[in-house]
Structure 1
Amino acid sequence: MAEVYDPTFTILEYTGDHSAHKCGYCKSAAASFSHGMWAHRMAVGDYQDLIDRGWRRSGKYCYKPTMNKTCCPLYTIKCNATEVKLTKGQKKVLKRFHRYLSHGDVKLEGGGKTSDNEQCVSPTGNQEYVKPKFDTTTDLSMVSVSPVAIENAKGTCTASARESNHSVSDKVSEVGDRGDTSSPSQNSPKVVRNNGINNLSPKSPRKTVGPDPSKPPCRKSKLIRLERREAKLAKQREEALRRGESLMEGIKSKPTNNTPKSLEDFLNESLPESPAHKLEVKLVRSHPGSVGFVQSFGIAHKVYQQYQINIHGDSPDRCSESQFRRFLCNSPLEPWHSNCGPPSGYGSFHHQYWLDGRLIAVGVLDILPNCVSSVYLYYDPEFSFLSLGTYASLRELALTRELQRTAPSLKWYYMGFYIHSCPKMRYKGNYSPSYLLCPETYNWVPIEKATPKLDLSEYSRLNNDASAKDLNGEIDLNRIKILYDQDLVLYEMYRMLNPQADDEDEVKEYASLVGAKSAYSMVLYRN
């Protein structure tokens, strides 16, 4: 198994607990709580680990709902893109969009009712966005720290402590109900970052020798079953001929082409020779901004303004260019191109939808080692009749499936948060198969097994195994890397250099929220 090294690293500034603020879902005053931190710069692998612990970003600000305290708990949700099953409503959206492209047909089904994502219209603005408690006054995005320096952060750990090196499993144990099944493929690269993650595993990677040349190549079980069936039917026909029976009287083979249409079949359905409209979908890197992103920035901001004002009821000053740039364009994710990764590379992108040369929608996405993570979607309200929320989600699922062909581990589509206590926000559960993140053990649980618990209680431990625990929960504070006074040190050295610091409880809280794996990998800034 090849090892692929990501040379980027992460610097965070923990901002602590938020004061209560008004909830955008139940409208309760001073009832919504979360923890937050500024990501001055971040490796894509570190962000992958963070969202697998319930974190989410808005611009460079990362936040994690205080699940057992906030009024409307927000559960991280993901869908297995390789096994996606389309609902009847989703198929209707795809067919309607195809009719519009083909013939300009704008007739809505169901009396003009919109579906899925279009149901979450609210006058309270962007509900999932948590405004930072305060802005950071320090810019550490350009700080340069060599991988060697990160590996050899100054500290006073004893040799025995280093040798013990409490290992943190990269793979969280399976939930009793068989939640996450995303084990790395043998053909996929093992991503190892030079910022300390490789120190967490006491064992060296197991070497593989490849397929046995003396054995036939592996084949899909479906093809093997099909061939067996065809051989059985051929034998039955021969026996029928020997008995003097007509082939028409023999057992007829069922049509082999009876598989349901895939997502790609719907999206790539052929258009007439002269279609009424032309759709072009572009993936442009937003950080750092590519040529396509820079050229379309002004147009994209105008579409964003129209969306926020007409759909979410924002005032023009709340969707200014600076706010748009900060919220949807600025990203802490460091771009990374791997020979074994997707052609686009990893990092932050805008997924643009151009209809007849006009920008009508933009999906803000992060492409990470294991997933495509949806950050936000905005669209031109004039085209709401096309159910662009649902259509864009299906397009993003198709993008995930496309990227997975070259990066086998990238098979998940993260949709942000699932809010069961808000009926209008349950539409994300319509994408199947989906899983919710247990807020206590950080295992993935199939949504159909999680929702009965959420019907009884807004906050619930989703893992059925009462003995299961957070495997990343036991943390040695002395192994946490600290950026202090322009020097990289371990926490124990930081305490020696700054004996007046009274922040042990805050550092301990930070470590428990990000987990041991991330706490040892990332760099925490202390001033």
Structure 2
Amino acid sequence: MEPVDAERARQLSLFRPLDDGSASYYTSSVAVRPEHYGILVDRGWRRSGNLYYKQNLRRSCCPHYTLRLEASAYQSRRDQRKAINRWNNYILGPEYIRKAARLCPRTREEKKFRKCNFDVLSAVHESEYNHIKRPIDPSTKRPIEPAHRFEVNIEADSPSQAKYELFLKYQTTVHKEDLSKWKVKDFTRFLCSGIKRSPAEVKKSNESEKKLGSWHQCYRLDGKLIAVAVLDLLPSGVSSVYAFYDPDYEQWEFGKLSALREIAFAQENGYPYYYMGYYIHSCQKMRYKGTFRPQYILDPESNRWDPLDGELSKKLDSRSYVSLSRDRSSDAEDSSPPKEESIDLDNEETLSLFDIHMPGVLTLDQVNALNLGNWNLLYHGTFVHFSDLVGWEEMAYNNPQSVKGIVGELAAALGPKIVKDSAVVLFD
């Protein structure tokens, strides 16, 4: 969120927690800084355009767990290597591969290394046009060319007609959605209205600046846009937002190809982690995310990271909600899932976030300790404190129908770091 500075202030609107089937807490902002969003992701938040949400995993039928992979520790699987090798062979073509092997032969050591090792960086660059070797063919006196010209570049998350048309083709073909569902404004709001783009600090004089903010990684084949990966580049890592591609190329497994390329991008540019978004263990379509290892899952209660493989995976096989920190606590008598409180959803408007006991948020006592009366409220371009509001002291944080209750819930969901460095705008 924006720092408390009148010159740079932006709006933050609040929504009541929606405890329907999705069981999520929602808020919106038009100006989230990359470093702040990184903090939110590490607290279980995700975004869709300028809508930000954090799921209540204990009250969801299909808990969405946050995944994180340490980019430098990535361990490839055979199917992932096969996918990138198939794509590279298609792009380069047999004639180029044959001529390149003759004109630029690899040494014995290089061949041995490639046979025994998989370098994801080398693999994803192998077929990129600006990385491939094009030695002169003695018979034609001209550089040898691959079968296709494949290029990948990072550009701003701005809309274009080519992106929009590709998105429509993907949504209507792959997801079977009606064409009328997606207008240009809907596409723009969904995938072209991300977090602020800005450079990060340079850690060392010989290091280049890392890109931060929301970007589009665009794949072009022979000059035609065939895929777009929407990425949030954060100080802590590369966060995958969405990816869409031309269904004509579905056989090439773009889900795997884009993930491999994003892991390589993180490695190459010094981003520590790769976030693949939410993971639903019971959903077969999401199981592939767990095959990119080593994968870690955010504990919904402690906000610490646990390896997916092993103990956690076994427990997720038997129950949908798992918090290892809860299971391991000295107060827990056994590892059975916690009993849910009986909550009357018919009177949802009277419920406070603190009554629901949503995991991963601050308690009422912790919110009281934050002294939110000093939190800045932006009102018609001027900052005031919440304590300046008439009746603020008489309101209660656990009253969801009061301004103080709404503000208290927001603080509980965001956490103290964001509260300390943000301002709020309330809308009717």
Instruction: Report 1:370-409 matches (<5 A).
Output: 370-404=236-270
Whichever residue aligns with residue 484 of structure 1, its letter is Y
CA distance in 2, matches of 1:368, 1:10: 20
Q: What is the aligned-residue identity percentage?
A: 31
Name the TM-score, length of structure 1 as normaliser: 0.61
In the TM superposition, what whole-angstrom CA distance separates every residue of 1:256-315 from its partner, at most 9, and x where no partner exists? 9986221023223357833211210010012xx4xxxx6xx1011111000000000111
Contact 2:84 2:124 in 1 (8 A): yes
Q: Shift of the alpha carbon at 1:443?
A: 0.5
State whether residues 364 and 374 of structure 1, in contact with CA within 8 Å, keep that contact through their aligned partners in structure 2: yes
Aligned to 2:407: 507
1:321 deviates by 1.3
Q: In structure 2, give the amino acid aligned to 1:274.
A: E
- Residue 442 of structure 1: SS of its match in structure 2? coil
Distance 1:324 1:77 in 2: 26
Cα distance in 2 between the residues matched to 1:385 and 1:257: 25
Distance in 1, matches of 2:286 and 2:125, equals 29
User: 68, 73, 76: which is aligned to 1:83?
Assistant: 73
In the alignment, which residue of structure 2 is the partner of 1:217?
none
Question: What is the rounded CA distance, in whole Å, between the counterparts of 1:494 and 1:43 in structure 2?
Answer: 28
Map of 1:39 onto structure 2: 29
Cα displacement string for residues 94-124 of structure 1 (whole angstroms, at most 9, x for unaligned residues): 111011112279xxxxxxxxxxxxxxxxxxx
What TM-score comes out, normalization by structure 2 length?
0.75
Question: Are 1:336 and 2:194 matched, yes or no?
Answer: no
- 1:277 paired with 2:148, answer yes
Report the CA distance shift for 1:370/1:8 in structure 2 as closer, same or farther (over 3 A). Answer: farther
- Could you tell me which amino acid in structure 1 is paired with residue 386 of structure 2? Y
Is the CA contact (8 Å cut-off) linking 1:482 and 1:525 kept in structure 2?
Answer: yes
2:355 paired residue number: none
The superposition leaves residues 9-47 of structure 1 with CA deviations (integer Å, 9 ceiling, x where unpaired) of 664212121252xxxxxxxxxx32211111121111111
Query: For the aligned residues, what is the CA RMSD?
Result: 2.8
Letter in 2 for 1:305: L
Secondary structure at 2:59 match in 1: coil
Corresponding residue number in structure 1 for 2:180: 317
Deviates more, 1:310-319 or 1:462-471: 462-471
Where do residues 14-53 of structure 1 align in structure 2 (5 Å cutoff)?
14-18=14-18, 20=20, 31-53=21-43
* Offset from partner CA, 1:397-430 (integer Å, 9 cap, x none): 11111110xxxxx211111100012122111111
Match of 1:441 among 302, 308, 312: 302
Is the counterpart of residue 451 in structure 1 residue 313 in structure 2?
Answer: yes
What's the secondary structure of 2:282's corresponding residue? coil
Could you tell me which residue of structure 1 aligns to residue 103 of structure 2? none
Contact 2:215–2:231 under 8 Å retained in 1: yes
Distance 1:95 1:9, change over 3 A: farther
In 2, Cα distance between the equivalents of 1:434 and 1:104?
36
Partner of 2:322: 460
Question: Does the residue aligned with 1:56 lie in a helix, a strand or coil?
Answer: strand
Secondary structure of 1:508's partner?
A: helix
Question: Any idea what the Cα deviations from partners look like across 1:200-224, whole Å, max 9, x if unmatched?
Answer: xxxxxxxxxxxxxxxxxxxxxxxxx
1:104–1:484 distance in 2 versus 1, CA, 3 Å: farther
Alpha-carbon shift at residue 480 of structure 1 (Å): 2.9
User: Could you tell me which amino acid in structure 1 is paired with residue 72 of structure 2?
Assistant: T
Give the whole-Å Cα distance in 2 for the aligned partners of 1:481 and 1:451: 43
Match of 2:141 in 1: none
Which residue among 273, 290, 299 is the counterpart of 2:162?
299
SS at match of 1:346: strand
1:348 equivalent among 214, 235, 242: 214
| Amino acid in the other structure paired with 1:453 | K
Equivalent-residue separation in structure 2 for 1:263 and 1:256 (angstroms): 13
2: distance between equivalents of 1:495 and 1:67? 36
User: Which residue pairs with 1:129 in the alignment?
Assistant: none
CA distance in 1, matches of 2:420, 2:289: 33
Indicate if the aligned counterparts of 1:33 and 1:65 stay in contact, CA closer than 8 A.
yes
- Matched letter for residue 171 of structure 2: Q
Contact 1:46 1:522 (C-alpha < 8 Å) held by counterparts: no
Q: Could you tell me how far apart the structure 1 residues matched to 2:172 and 2:403 are?
A: 42
Query: Which deviations, in whole Å up to 9, do the C-alpha atoms of 1:43-95 show, x marking residues without a partner?
Result: 11111111111111111111111211111100010111111111111001011
* Partner deviation per Cα, 1:367-404 (whole Å, 9 max, x = no partner): 11111111100000000011111101110111111110
The residue type equivalent to 1:488 in the other structure is F
1:492 equivalent to 2:387? Answer: yes
* Cα distance in 2 for residues equivalent to 1:45 and 1:95: 35
Structure 2 unaligned segments of length 5 or more: list them: 96-111, 127-131, 135-143, 332-358, 396-400
Match of 1:263 in 2: 120
Residue identity opposite 2:29 in structure 1: A
Distance in 2, matches of 1:8 and 1:88, equals 49
Deviation at residue 498 of structure 1 after TM alignment = 9.8
2:44 to 23, 45, 54: 54
Aligned residue pairs: how many? 349
Match of 2:373 in 1: 478
Contact 2:121/2:268, CA 8 A, preserved across alignment: no
